[in-house]
């Protein structure tokens, strides 16, 4: 792991203008069925507006970034997040076209984030961003490090989730490094990011499961005990990615934490090599 809390020297954060195709069946594109599929679909509902929130939070402090390397990384971060927002808007539109209440749920999120924006300072908005960027980074690691997560999924959906995971890994430290520059690295900055992480964890996962619940309810599958069991087994038993995710979540609370202390850029390198060779996003 990098001893000096910096990004790997070979890392380049590149904006990739990639458009994805979506299957006609947005309800069961994952082999573990409806409930697992809608867990991922619920996550997608957060990305367009969430990524816009991240962009605004980082861009607010852009002028304070003096180091050329970090300034270039910020540029890449903003470009990647813009592409994520665009592609997940298309993803969510496909959910709406499939008859799912995606638009109504997105509208609820817009109102929630507008309320958040009106109540928090720029420093708190950036603290929220680095908290959620830590979640996306550790979720990305679980997806990239365990082929069972997307094994048997529709290759078009596997491709968009792996692409997103790769880019979240590439830029996982950018907002955090901007926070270190703009807010600081002292006790106050540490206590702010820890407090905000605790609040954000509760709020984010409450919304994820409420949105997931809404999608399942729209399918008339709330009483599908087998479906709920398959979701529980998928998340907590086999492959059980939640256990690994929460262990990595705890690392955030170390005073000396930095995202690249967990150096997993080999997944980025492997994905980039495959993409370069084929010109096709790996599924």
**30 domain-assigned:** no
Q: Tens digit of pLDDT for each residue in 63-97? A: 999 999 999 999 999 999 999 999 999 999 999 99
SS3 content of the chain, % helix, strand, coil (to 5): 70, 0, 30
**115 domain-assigned:** yes
Q: Which two tokens stand for residue 230?
A: 């398959």
Which pLDDT score is estimated for 226?
A: 98
**278 domain-assigned:** no
**246 domain-assigned:** yes
Q: Cβ distance 126 to 179 under 8 Å?
A: yes
**12 domain-assigned:** no
Write down the pTM of the prediction: 0.94
Distance of CA 190 to the CA centre of its chain: 22
The number of distinct structural domains making up the chain is 1
Distances (CA, A) of 168 to 46, 49, 81, 95, 145: 15, 16, 9, 23, 14
pLDDT in tens, the chain (283 residues): 344 566 676 678 999 999 999 999 999 999 999 999 999 999 999 999 999 999 999 999 999 999 999 999 999 999 999 999 999 999 999 999 999 999 999 999 999 999 999 999 999 999 999 999 999 999 999 999 999 999 999 999 999 999 999 999 999 999 999 999 999 999 999 999 999 999 999 999 999 999 999 999 999 999 999 999 999 999 999 999 999 999 899 999 999 999 999 999 999 999 988 887 666 677 7
**40 domain-assigned:** yes
Q: Tens digit of pLDDT for each residue in 123-138? A: 999 999 999 999 999 9
**15 domain-assigned:** no
- The range of the structural domain enclosing residue 183 comes to 36-271
Residue 113 sits in a domain of what CATH number? Answer: 1.10.620
Task: Specify burial of residue 121 (Cβ count, 10 A radius: 0-12, 13-18, 19+).
Answer: exposed
Q: Which two tokens stand for residue 136?
A: 């996306």
**241 domain-assigned:** yes
């Amino acid at each position: 792991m990098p001893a000096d809390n910096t990004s790997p020297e070979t890392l380049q954060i590149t904006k990739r203008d990639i458009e994805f195709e979506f299957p006609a069946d947005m309800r069961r594109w994952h082999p573990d069925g409806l409930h697992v599929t809608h867990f991922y679909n619920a996550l997608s509902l957060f990305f367009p507006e969430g990524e816009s929130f991240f962009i605004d939070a980082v861009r607010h402090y852009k002028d304070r970034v003096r180091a050329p390397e970090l300034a270039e990384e910020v540029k890449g971060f903003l470009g990647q997040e813009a592409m994520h927002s665009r592609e997940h808007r298309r993803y969510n539109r496909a959910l709406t076209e499939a008859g799912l209440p995606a638009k109504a749920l997105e509208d609820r999120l817009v109102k929630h984030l507008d309320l958040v924006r009106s109540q928090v300072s720029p420093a708190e908005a950036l603290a929220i961003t680095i908290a959620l960027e830590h979640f996306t980074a550790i979720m990305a690691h679980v997806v990239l490090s365990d082929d069972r997560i997307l094994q048997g999924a529709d290759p078009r959906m596997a491709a968009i989730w792996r692409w997103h995971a790769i880019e979240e890994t590439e830029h996982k430290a950018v907002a955090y490094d901007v926070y270190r520059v703009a807010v600081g690295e002292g006790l106050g900055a540490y206590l702010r990011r820890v407090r905000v992480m605790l609040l954000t964890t509760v709020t984010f996962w409450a919304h994820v499961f409420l949105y997931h619940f809404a999608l399942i309810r729209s399918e008339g599958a709330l009483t599908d005990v087998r479906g709920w069991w398959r979701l529980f087994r998928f998340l907590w038993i086999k492959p059980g990615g939640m256990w690994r995710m929460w262990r990595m979540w705890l690392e955030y609370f170390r005073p000396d934490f930095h995202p690249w202390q967990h150096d997993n850029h080999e997944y980025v390198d492997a994905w980039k090599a495959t993409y370069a060779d084929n010109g096709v996003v790996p599924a």
